[in-house]
Every structure is written in structure tokens, then in C-alpha cells.
A and B are shown apart, each in its own frame.
Chain A
Amino acid sequence: MIGYLIRRILAAVPVMGVVALFVFLLLRLTPGDPAAILAGDNATPEQLDRIRTSLGLNEPIYIQFYTWVAKLLHGDLGVSLISNKPILEMIGPRLEPSISVALATMILSILVAVPLGVIAAWKHGTWIDRCVMGLSVLGFSVPVFVIGYVLIQVFAIDLRWVPVQGFKSISAGFGPFFERIILPTCTLSFIYVALIARMTRASMLDVLGEDYVRTARAKGISETGVLLRHALRNAAVPVITVIGSGFALLISGVVVTESVFNLPGIGRLTVDAVLARDYPVIQAMILLTSGIYVAVNLLIDLAYTLLDPRIRY
């Protein structure tokens, strides 16, 4: 198991290497002078020179790559062209809101969606099943910002239970932190509940037709035992896959929700950087997002081996 873990982590290194190369070339291979692209139309020759020197553009390209990677490995992601701040410092404070909301959304979605999916599959074809599937279609089809604003109107403005928007770090106390992430969490959960419930139901329906479920029933164990011990664990692999990729998607940015609730998260940082053509920040965000996806995939694969002994490692 440990050996497998090490092998998988080592296998992630070349993947990240390719991503780094791609990110590096993104800027260098764009037609024209990178310094000019970076500096924009109204740059003075001095500014261009400064950018060239700071990016090492006068060196041969392989030395540029080497220097860039060496800096990356030391945690130096470069400096933003707009704010002139080190990028690491810009990302740091953005991580907490993004990760908090992503984690809370996933936990809430799983707690709601998995039981819903299991019950829908168990009561396949009945009104319960149809209700769950109907809700799921609703969750898919209503735009996120509509859900967000409705929740704000009801719980923040009419009932005044929670603040309208903003974010407080958990270091400022759990109460203020919690009441600010609860609405964005609920908003995002709609679509993830829909997604996970559907996946759970489909996967459970497959498994409930399996011979070993019939065997379990023939043993005279309770229906809950059949559903949870025998069916759900076998149905879990595709569900875990959806949960994993959903989680990566959530961390790497949910711009609309962040905008609606004025959350200082990763998504908005990325969009701002793209709009301002802040290339070093864009590069850093691509690297970060790829890193998250690689890590989540690794976790999903590990989960497979824990869930299903037939998957060899």
C-alpha cells in the first residue's frame, strides 16, 4: 500500500512537469515580444527593459525554463504585473474561503445526496423515486445566481438570520465564519446534490440487480443491511469519482457564487487576472488548478483501492 502510494506520487511528477512546461511556453510562444504583451500598449522602453530583465528574456530559452522551475520549487511564483505583489501572497488569503466553501459544500451534498440516491433506487419507480429525480432536474436547471439571490433575499434580508455577504476567517471565531459560508454552501450544494443523488441512484440500481444482493436477502438480513453493507459499498466507486472531480471543480473556482456572496476566493482572482492579462498570475492559477486535479485524482484512486479489494495496487 505504502509502495503504491509512493509510486502514484512519483507518477504525478512527470504530469506536473508537463503542465509546468506548457504554462512556461504559454507566454514564450505567444507571437510577439512577451515583454510587450505583458506591459501592454502604452509601455515605455524602460518598462519593457525592466520586464525583460526580470523575466530573464535575454537568456536562452532552456535556461529561462530552468530558472523559472527552480524559482517555482522555492515557492516563488513571480510577481503580479498589476499589483506588483508576490503572487504567493495574493493566493494565500484566497485559499481559505475557497477551500472552506468547497469542503462544506461537499460534506453537505454527500450527506443529503447519498441517502436520497439510495432511497430513490430502493423505491425505484415509486413516487419517492420520481420526487427525488424531479428535484435533481431542478437542481441542475436553476442557475446558481438565482438560487444565491433567492437564499439571500429569504435568509439574509427577510429573516435576517445570516449576513448578506462577505467572509470571516475561522481564526476570528467559528460563529462568524460559519454564518458567512452557510449561504454560499447551500447555493452550491443544489447542483452537487442533484449530481451525486443521480449518480448514486444509477449506480445503486445496477448493484441492486446483482446476484450477491439476492444472496444477502436470502440470508435473512435486514433491508438496511442489504442496502448499506452490500449494495452501497459496491455502488460507491462511480459516486466517489463524481465527488472527487466535483471537489476539484469547487476549489479551483466558482466565480458566480463568489461574486454573488462577495467571497474573496480563487475563482475571482483567476477571472480578474485573465481580464487584466496578468500573465504571471494566470500561470500560477493554471499550475495551482492542475495541482489540485492531480492530487484529487490520486485521492480518488486511493479510495478505489480501499473500497474494492479487486483493484490491485
Chain B
Amino acid sequence: MTTTSSSNVVLDINNLVVGLGRKADAHRIIDDLSLQVREGETLCLVGESGSGKSVTSLTTMGLLQKGTLVPSGGSVKLVGEELLTATDRRLRQLRATRMAMIFQEPMTALNPVVPVGRQIDEVLRAHTDLDARARRQKILAMMEHVRLPDVQRIFSSYPHRLSGGQRQRIMIAMALVLEPKLLIADEPTTALDVTTQKQILTLIRDLQRDHGTAVLFITHDMGVVAEIADRVAVMRHGRLVETGQLQDVLRNPTMEYTRNLLSAVPSLVPRAPRPETKEPVVLEANELSKVYRERSLYGKAREVAAASNVTLTLRKGRTLGIVGESGSGKSTVARCIVRLIDPTSGGVRLVGREISDLSRRLLQPHRQKIQIIFQDPYRSLNPRVTVGESIAEGPVNYGMPRKDALARARELLELVHLPPDAISRYPHQFSGGQRQRIAIARALALDPDVLVADEAVSALDVSVQAQVLNLLDEIQRRLGIALLFITHDLRVAAQICDDVAVMQHGRVVEQGPAAEVLTNPQQAYTRALLEAAPGRGWDFANFRPVSECIVATA
């Protein structure tokens, strides 16, 4: 580190080591990490899960779980003051006044039983001598500053009354109310929809510009990096891989790992369309609707249309994507089609047979023709059942002898590129990506005609995501299976779908070939979605901005 530029360094981490436990030979979660964040600068800390990004931020805040993760070397200085040796009392004083943090999940980061105004008020009560009136005024002003509407009402609202975006604004207001020198944002937009994400990123940028705050922004999303970073630091296995100015890292990554990370980011430019086929239609949804009625004993019944008049067609060997933000009804449609829930009206034809009105018992023989993969591979496999049993369970249910079913499970594990010995192991022995492969093998065990993937790659790191997408593509080509792909991620949709249907408020607003819908959207909502996609100006895999890419191909 040079001493000339150290005058405005807000956060200075040098040779930090954090070990798992107190022993000298403890496994190092953070290994010899050094980085600086200067006043008015945003440093994006990028890396895949397990790279040590969050541990770095929690170490800085002094919020590591005591006794489990222990900083054993190096230094962390905040405006020149050492934090690793600071007392608990001093750390409490520094939090919110000099350094503040916002977290990934706005839904759970606020106390559900305390009104949000009071939660911000706590910061002022703990760190200032202001009286109640002055505090309230300061809070309302801050809430307006983070562009919350109707601040008087929101002040006394409980968190569950607010949207995800509003809650994250409350978190930001809480973090910045005392104008700290350093703001640590740990994946603050990951749980938000793209349009909300864009607003929050703009807000953080503006507030930083107004107050000169140093921001340590943690993310796994290269798109977000491109939107907000001044400098980028790439981490892997607790070590710093590469650091540099945003443009330098995106254009000329020096390290192999960074190159791979960038190459794995799916492009927003749709892949070359596959030729139209005359294969038979395997799945049709006709005017499908799902209405939730909330009955109360005395009051009027409330109706919420989670999906209305959704019509979709899917041919053998093709991929249809349903894209939309949370609450748009895409998962409802998927679940109605698989008959995990019963549609209120409309029809579902599966391989020529109407299944929407079949009873559970009559539906049974048709179930094997349509299978589903869920979002969270950590929760969709029974932890107490071996992988082999999980895969074989379906065929056994449909009358296949156990021995044959297990043999089939072995073949399927090979198909999804897992070792054959995986059959006798348990889900916890596998990584997230491997578990999603197991979930795919399980779904394929019944030889379905249609595979429904409900946000099946959303919980995975980009490199793993790319592998799973390739796998799905390969399986589709080999088996000619039809894929219904539900996603909120337009990049993923652009790379895997032949056709897309864009959903908003339970309705399909636009539908057509992916190459058309995603490059030349006709509806305002689709355009807004595309414009909000972070990093849309960058073609990460080719290390250049999209504008240059167009010039290059022109």
C-alpha cells in the first residue's frame, strides 16, 4: 500500500486471516486478504458462494459468531482505527456512526414485531442525545431521502406491511441516518426484482455521491458490478484473486479465474434461434386461471387471481420460458400445469390428454409424463434418503422392480455427470450444483415428456449455473424432452429458451420466439424488464461492452 493515497482510505484491510476456531492450524476461511476502500468510492467484492465475501464484511463489523470464526492475523482499520483489537463497547459505538451495514434479505432483516420507524429510532437513541421530536424529524427526513412514499404512514408500519423494495429502503435509511464513513452492502439487491434492484442501486449511488460514503459492495452478480462499481476485487476460497478498476477487470481480466467467472455470465443477447419444428405438441395450457379465495367467517370473501387466462403451447424437444418478476404468477402456472395445485378454470392437455379435471387417482398414470425440478436443491431432496433411493422411488411407484430402478438410477447419474458411487450417498454430501443434477436425474427417472424447471438454476453460482444449463441442453438434445423453464433471470432465458412468455400480475403480456421478444419487445413491461437488467451494457463473456460488440459484428 502506498502512503501517499492513504489519507482518504476509509477501510484498510491488511493481510487478514480468519480461521475456523481458535487453533493455530485452523482451516482459514479468509487467507491473507488485503484491500482498501477510499472515500466516495465503491469497491465491489465479487466471488462465488463460499469465497469469504460475507465473512470479510462481518469481520469488519465485528459481527462474526464468537468462538466459531476467529480473526487470527492481520489488521482491519476504519479511518485509521484498528477494529480487530477494539473492545465490544467501542465496536458498538462505531457501528451505525462510522460503519453501517445492509443485508441481503430485506424480508428477514427487520424485526417483524417492531414498527419500522422505531427500528430506525433505536439507532438515534443509542448513539445521539436528540429528544424524541428531533429524532422523529430526522427519521422522517431520512425516509424521504431514501425516496419512501407516505413517510408518516410508513413510520408506524410494521415490516410485513411493506414491499421488499420499501424494506430495503428502510434498511438503507437506518444504515445511513448517522452518515457513517463506510457502508457495507452485502448482496443488498439479490432478493429483489430487477426493476426494484435498479431503483435501489441508483439510490445507493446517489446517496454515496451526496455524502461521500465509502461503499464496500458485496455481490455475486457481474451485472450489478458493472452498474455500481468503481473498483472490483475478486475473491476465491478466502483469497484475493484480482483487484483493479472496473473497466480493467471487465475488459482485461488478468487471472484465469476472473476470466472464467466472466465467461460464465449468460449473455442478454439471445442465442441463435433453432429452426422451427413440426414435432407434436406435448403440452398445452388453455385459458388457465387460478384464483385464491380467502374466506372469512363474517367478512366478505377476498379473491386474488394468481394466474388468469394463461395460454401456452410447447412442442417436443423445445424450450418455453416463462419470465416475470416475483408475484407475476409464473410459479402458479407451473404448479397448475403439473397439478401440484388445482387450476380454478381452463385446461391443461398433456400429450393429447386433458388432465386439468382428472381426480388425483385418475391423474396418477399421467403424472410420470410431466416432472418438475425445484429452485432450492438444498431442500428439495429428502436428507435422510440416499440419492439412489430418491431417484428410484418414482419408477418403483410405477411398478418397476427395485433392482431395475436402481440400475436405471445409476444410468441417470452417469447422464447428469455424477459418479456411479453417488447412488449410495446422502444429499448433504453434495454441493448445490451436484444436488440440482440429482434433482434432474430424479425427474428424468420416469421418462417424462415434459420437464418443468421452476427457477432451477437461480440458487446456483454462475459457473455452476452455466454447467447445469449446458446439461439441460444436452439432455434435451439426447432425449427430445420438452422443457418448460420458469425464471426471473432474462439472461438465463435468453440462453436456453426457444420461446418466451412474459408474465405480469398473473397475465401473459407478451409471448413469442425468444430472439424476438428479448431483442425487439413490443410491450412496455417487457421493455422495462430488459432495461432494468443490470449490466445490460456489457457482453461479459467477450470482455467488452455490447456497443462495441454491435460495431464489431456490423
Interface on A for B, CB 8 Å cutoff? 7, 210-212, 214-222, 225, 229-230, 233-234, 307-310
Q: Are B113 and A215 in contact (CB under 8 A)?
A: no
Q: Are A225 and B126 in contact (CB under 8 A)?
A: yes
Q: From residue 7 to 37 of chain B, which have CB atoms closer than 8 A to chain A?
A: none
Binary flags per residue of B80-92, CB closer than 8 Å to A gives 1, else 0:
0000000000011
A307 to B114, CA, bound (A): 10
Q: Are A212 and B298 in contact (CB under 8 A)?
A: no
Q: Are A309 and B160 in contact (CB under 8 A)?
A: yes
Residue B112 interfacial (CB < 8 Å): yes
The one of B112, B122, B297 in contact with A219, judged by C-beta atoms closer than 8 angstroms, is B122
Residue B460 interfacial (CB < 8 Å): no
Q: Are B160 and A234 in contact (CB under 8 A)?
A: no
Residue B123 interfacial (CB < 8 Å): yes
Q: Are B109 and A211 in contact (CB under 8 A)?
A: yes
Q: Are B95 and A219 in contact (CB under 8 A)?
A: yes
Given contacts A233-B113, A308-B112, whether A218 and B297 have CB atoms under 8 Å apart is no
Identify which of A7, A216, A222, A234 gathers the most chain B CB atoms within 10 Å of its CB.
A216
A230 to chain B, nearest CB (A): 5
A309 to B116, CA, bound (A): 12
Q: Are B111 and A219 in contact (CB under 8 A)?
A: no
Listed by A's residue number, 13 A-B pairs whose Cβ atoms lie within 8 Å are A7-B297, A211-B103, A211-B109, A216-B111, A218-B101, A219-B126, A219-B174, A220-B127, A221-B126, A225-B126, A230-B114, A233-B113, A234-B112
A137 to chain B, nearest CB (A): 25
A217 to B66, CA, bound (A): 13
Given contacts A7-B297, A219-B174, A225-B122, whether A214 and B103 have CB atoms under 8 Å apart is yes
A212 to B107, CA, bound (A): 9
Q: Are B110 and A220 in contact (CB under 8 A)?
A: no
Q: Are B158 and A309 in contact (CB under 8 A)?
A: yes
B53 to chain A, nearest CB (A): 16
Residue B96 interfacial (CB < 8 Å): yes
Chain A residues with Cβ below 8 Å from B123 are 219-221
The one of B92, B109, B110, B111 in contact with A222, judged by C-beta atoms closer than 8 angstroms, is B92
Residue B415 interfacial (CB < 8 Å): no
Chain B residues with Cβ below 8 Å from A210 are 108
Q: Are B112 and A212 in contact (CB under 8 A)?
A: yes
A83 to chain B, nearest CB (A): 45
Given contacts A222-B92, A309-B160, whether A217 and B63 have CB atoms under 8 Å apart is yes
Chain B residues with Cβ below 8 Å from A229 are 114, 122
Chain A residues with Cβ below 8 Å from B103 are 211, 214-215
Chain B residues with Cβ below 8 Å from A218 are 61, 63, 95-96, 100-101
A216 to B67, CA, bound (A): 20
Q: Are A220 and B298 in contact (CB under 8 A)?
A: no
A307 to B113, CA, bound (A): 7
A308 to B100, CA, bound (A): 28
Chain A residues with Cβ below 8 Å from B227 are none
A233 to B123, CA, bound (A): 19
Q: Are A215 and B96 in contact (CB under 8 A)?
A: no
Given contacts A212-B110, A234-B113, whether A219 and B96 have CB atoms under 8 Å apart is yes
Given contacts A7-B297, A214-B63, whether A310 and B126 have CB atoms under 8 Å apart is no
Q: Are A7 and B298 in contact (CB under 8 A)?
A: yes
Given contacts A7-B297, A215-B103, A217-B63, whether A222 and B113 have CB atoms under 8 Å apart is no
Q: Are B298 and A215 in contact (CB under 8 A)?
A: no
Q: Are B113 and A220 in contact (CB under 8 A)?
A: no
Residue B171 interfacial (CB < 8 Å): yes
Residue B163 interfacial (CB < 8 Å): no
A78 to B216, CA, bound (A): 77
Q: Are B122 and A215 in contact (CB under 8 A)?
A: no
Q: Are B113 and A309 in contact (CB under 8 A)?
A: yes
Residue of A nearest to B106 (CB): A211
Chain A residues with Cβ below 8 Å from B110 are 212, 215
Q: Are A215 and B126 in contact (CB under 8 A)?
A: no
A274 to B508, CA, bound (A): 69
Residue of B nearest to A233 (CB): B113
Chain A residues with Cβ below 8 Å from B203 are none
Residue B291 interfacial (CB < 8 Å): no
A211 to B96, CA, bound (A): 17
Chain A residues with Cβ below 8 Å from B158 are 309-310
Q: A219-B96, A225-B122 are in contact. List 11 more A-B contacts (CB 8 A).
A: A7-B298, A212-B112, A215-B103, A215-B110, A218-B61, A220-B91, A234-B112, A307-B113, A309-B112, A309-B113, A310-B158
